Structure formats: structure tokens, C-alpha cells
Amino acid sequence: MLITPENIILISSFLLIMSIIASKTAGRAGIPVLLLFLGVGMLAGTDGLGKITFNDPFAAQFLGVVALTYILFSGGLDTKWESIKPVMGPGIVLSTLGVLLTALSVGIFATWVGDFSLKEGILLGAIVSSTDAAAVFSILRNKSIGLKGNLRPLLELESGSNDPMAYFLTIGLTTWLSLEGFTPVDLVPLFFKQMILGALAGYGLGKICVFLVNKINLEYEGLYPVLMLGLVAMIYALTDRIGGNGFLAVYLAGITMNQSRILHYKSYIRFFDGVAWLMQIVMFITLGLLVFPSEVLPVVGIGFLIAMFLIFVARPLGVWVSLIFFKYNTREKLFISWVGLRGAVPIVFATFPLIAGIDKSNQIFNIVFFIVIASVSLQATSLAKVAKWLHLAVPERLKRKSLLDIELSDGFKNALVEIVLPQDSVVDGKKILDLSFPKTALIVLVSRNQKYITPNGSTELKSGDQLMIMVNSESEEQKIREVLGII
């Protein structure tokens, strides 16, 4: 088949549609959807039925970085500060110290069982050291899995925040192997620079994005998500340009926007959830195309040994040491250890030594690919069973109730009150978003000139408006009346 724009569009659309349709059947059969996407790419590749030749690690890396940027932002945007605040300590330790311990232990083991130098072994360990945000988000946010306590927010926080550490270690070790005179000591100031600048940029640029979106007043509502697409890409690029960690920045920017009063928030959640799924599909199919199964077969033996060591030794070691000063029991630590899912991110990171031309980078890439397949096949398929076995799963009857509460938490209130704005109201012409309303209160309907308006954050209130407001308590109603200038 000739390489033309039409043929590229045809093949891309076919692979995308086939992946989505096949995922429905795969889910019923218990096959992890992410593994299916990889399989579609491999099936369409050079060694598969499609015979599509794709051997460009730079293009795969570029697509992977773009995809991971939007996946992390989507995860941050859907992460509530109230849920992760109690687990900030253990989450940060897991995403830094836990990643480092995993990388070192896997690196030493790989050096022992394989033909790797210590540097090469630790590089391999760094590449597979983080849990995969796309895999964890997609599996834990599936409504079939309910977890007791704060396990879910801890696991989501860890998976969303540990990629920056793994990325830093991968880049640092790749530089160490390829650049003369570079030493591990040089990594220390680089680490603090990346993390500090990444955190500051994520929070600061996130606040700027909130201000811009709330004030720009676009004529077409459909342009707001498009604007946000550009802003997210800008956050990553600007942070990377000043030497910060772009992945950390976009994740924190998402959390910052979640905590702020921002127009069209619900629309962003739905839009970026779809974008995140699209990015996952594109990333997994592309990486599947990049892999040659015939080259993976020779490393199955050593890949299996390293994968089992990672799952049963290295990950638990990182979890137990990281949580030693936090109050988690043995069953919880066992489950956290089991949710050490590896997905497309390690495969993306494995392209960095490939592009740098490091010795044995091709072997490392194929081993990483096998580890990902082993992790998703073994751990992703058994998460619900392991949670139930460890008595950490929410019982079915309680799970339905808790999910209902979660779904309604943003809009379900205890009372509905009607308030009429007086003439020459102090809030005349003000947007709902600009009012200092309690976060738990919601204006559900505005009656104006015998017409009904379904309000959003950009709706301007007018004197004489009749407002239907859902509130939680009498004290909250009093606060609302004070804000509206009605005493």
C-alpha cells in the first residue's frame, strides 16, 4: 500500500475503531483493555497480519510524551484535593523514595541475572520503576472496583505523581551512560531543580489558566475545551523550557484547576476523559507497532525473571520501606504492592536510550515491553480478586450506596430555597463564578422576566431575578443571603 495522506487516515481510523469495538468484547472476557490496544498495534505491525512498517522511536516517543501529558492532566483535573490531602505524605514518599528503591533493586537484580553493567541494569530499573497513570486511572475508576479507606486516592496520587521521578531517573541515567564526565552527583541538583520548578510552574500556570478561562468570555462555548488543550501543552512546554519537570507541572495544574472556581468545569472533565482515552489508544497502538515480536522472543526468559522480581520483590520492598512511618496494615501494604501496574509509560521511556544510541538499548526496550505485558496480564486482571481476598473491597450493597453519594456529591443538597434579588441589587451584572458562594451551594434555576434560565458560572445575575438555590444548612443559606446583599 502506498503511503499517502488518504491511506494514513484510512489505516489510523480503522485501527482506532477496531480497538474501541474490540475493547467491548475484551472487557467481558476479562482481557485488560490496555493489553488489547498493544495487541492491535502488534497485529498491524511488520511481524503481524497488517505488515505496517514502523520503526521510528523518535515519533513513538513524541506521541508518547504528548499522550502522557494529557493523561496526567486529565487525572489531575479529576482529582479532588479533599480526597488526596489525607494521603499526601505517603503518596509523595511512594512516588519518590519508592520509585528510587524499585529502580535500584531491579537494576541490581538485572545485573546479576543478565549481561548488563550496573549502569545499564539501573537504567532498566529506572525505566520500569513507576506505576502507570493511564493503567491505574482506567482500572481503579472502573465502577466495578470499590476500595475501603483512602487506598484509592493514595494509589491514584502515587500513579499520577511518580512518572516525573521515573522520567528524571531515566534521563539522568541515559545521560550518565552517553556523556563523558557526567556522574551521579550531577543528578542531585538536577533533581531539585526539576521538581521545584515543575511544582511552582504547575501551580502558578494552573492559576493563570483559571484566570484566563474565567475572564476571556469566548463567543462560542465549544472553544473553551480547545483553548484548554493549547494551555495544557503550553504548561508542559514552558516548564520543560525553564528546566522543570513538565509531567509534574501538568498534573499539579490539573489539581489546581480542580480546586479553583473555573467556568465549564464539568465540560472539561467529560472532554478530557475522552481525550485521555484517545491518547491511551494512540500511545498503545503506536508502541505496539514499534515492537517486533520476533525480537521479544529471545528475551522472554530474562524478561520473565525481572518481571517476577519487580512484582514480588522490588515493588513490595519500595512500598514497605516508604510506608514504614505511616499507619498502614499488612493487608493494605500487600494491596498497594500489587497495584504496581506497568503500562505504556515504561515503553515510552525505553525509547530514550534507543534514540541516544546506548549499547544494549534494543535489548532493554524488548525486556521492558515483556515486563509491561506480564504486569498488565497478571496484575490488572486480578486487582478486584486480590482486593476481595485481602478484605479491602467494599461490599456490593455498600458500594452502590457510596458510588451514588459520589455521583451526587457536587449537586445533591438538603434543601431548596427561593431568593428574589431586590431592585438595585449589589450583585446586579456580576457573574455567578465571581460570587463568594459556599462551594457546596448551587444555583439550579434562574427565573427572569417569566423565562427560565439554566445557569452556569458565566451567567450574570440581574436585579429582580428569582433564584432557586440548593443548600446544605440554615447557616449556609444565611451566608448566601449576605453574599447577595439580602439581610
Given a contact cutoff of 8 angstroms between Cβ atoms, the answer to whether 150 and 173 are in contact is: no
pLDDT for position 290: 84
- Rounded CA gap, 17 and 342, in Å? 25
Are residues 95 and 147 both part of a single domain?
Answer: yes
Residue 38 belongs to some domain of the structure? no
Number of domains in the chain: 2
The answer to whether residue 277 sits within a structural domain is yes
Residues 6+ apart with CB under 8 A from 82: none
Give the pTM.
Answer: 0.77
CA–CA distance, 288 with 19 (Å, rounded to integer): 12
Dihedral sign from CA coordinates of 189, 193, 199, 200? positive
Q: What residue has cell string 486516592?
A: 153
Q: Are 379 and 302 within one domain?
A: yes
pLDDT > 90: what percent of the chain?
34
Q: Is residue 291 part of a domain?
A: yes
Amino acid at the residue 373: I
Answer yes or no: do 388 and 433 share one domain: no
pLDDT of 415-448, one tens digit each? 678 888 888 888 888 888 888 777 777 888 888 8
Indicate whether 323 and 429 sit together in one domain: no
Residue 29 belongs to a domain: no
Question: Are residues 87 and 190 located together in one domain of the fold?
Answer: yes
Are residue 369 and residue 428 in the same domain, yes or no? no
User: What domain range is 260 assigned to?
Assistant: 55-403
CA 372 to chain CA centroid, Å, is 17
Position 20 in a domain: no
Bridge partner residues of 470 (DSSP): 416, 442
Q: Which residues contact 69 (CB under 8 A, 6 or more apart)?
A: 232, 233, 236, 246, 247, 250
Question: Beta strand 451-453 with 442-448: parallel, antiparallel or unpaired?
Answer: antiparallel
For residue 411, the model assigns a pLDDT of 41
Q: What is the pLDDT of residue 473?
A: 67
Q: Examine the domain organization and report whether 212 and 310 are in the same domain.
A: yes
Q: Are 384 and 335 contacting, i.e. CB atoms less than 8 angstroms apart? A: no
- Are 299 and 372 part of one and the same domain? yes
Query: 290: closest CA among 174, 368, 342, 233?
Result: 368
Q: Which of 53, 17, 7 is nearest to 37 (CA)?
A: 17
Which residues in the chain land under pLDDT 70?
1-3, 22-34, 134, 137-146, 394-415, 473-474, 487
Is residue 421 domain-shared with residue 302, that is, in the same domain? no
pLDDT of residue 262: 83
- Structural domain includes residue 34: no
Q: Say how far apart CA 371 and CA 343 lie, in whole Å.
A: 9
Asked, for residue 249, whether it belongs to a domain, the answer is: yes
CATH of the domain at 420: 3.30.70.1450
Among residues 483, 476, 472, the alpha carbon closest in space to that of 409 is found at 472
Among 345, 377, 403, the domain boundary falls at: 403
Q: What is the pLDDT of residue 208?
A: 95
Q: What pLDDT is recorded for position 396?
A: 53
pLDDT tens digits, 23-39: 666 555 445 666 777 77
Residues 459 and 356 placed together within one structural domain of the fold: no
> What was the pLDDT predicted at 18?
76
Q: Do residue 150 and residue 246 come from a single domain?
A: yes
Residues 143 and 222 in one domain: yes
Domain boundary residue, one of 366, 381, 403: 403
C-alpha 87/C-alpha 106 separation (Å) is 26
CATH number of the domain at 264, please: 1.20.1530.20
Domain boundary among 371, 403, 435: 403
> Does the residue 150 lie in any domain?
yes
